């Protein structure tokens, strides 16, 4: 969630720079594309991860070294 929030902040700065006609257009377009990728592909996994963490499943905590 925090990474998505930071990408949102960067995206606002990038869009403002692009709107102002920055000479670093490729850099800011890259920022927007990276943010879009993360938010569309990684952020949706947060809900599933939260569900796993809240489920009480203990296999990873109870796993014994000898089992390797």
Distance linking the first and last C-alpha atoms of the chain:
33
The contacts of residue 32 (CB under 8 Å, 6+ apart) are: 11, 14, 15, 18
Axis crossing angle, helix 25-41 with helix 2-19, rounded to the nearest 10: 150
Q: Which two tokens stand for residue 64?
A: 């014994």
pLDDT (tens digit, 9 = 90+) per residue, 33-68? Answer: 999 999 999 999 999 989 988 998 888 889 999 999
- Specify burial of residue 39 (Cβ count, 10 A radius: 0-12, 13-18, 19+): middle
pTM value? 0.73
Whether 1 shows a pLDDT value over 90: the answer reads: no
């Amino acid at each position: 969630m925090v990474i998505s929030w930071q990408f949102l902040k960067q995206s606002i700065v990038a869009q403002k720079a692009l709107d102002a006609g920055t000479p670093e257009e490729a850099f800011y377009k890259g920022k927007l594309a990276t943010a879009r990728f993360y938010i569309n592909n990684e952020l949706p996994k947060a809900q599933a991860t939260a569900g796993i963490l809240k489920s009480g499943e203990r296999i990873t905590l109870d796993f014994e070294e000898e089992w390797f």
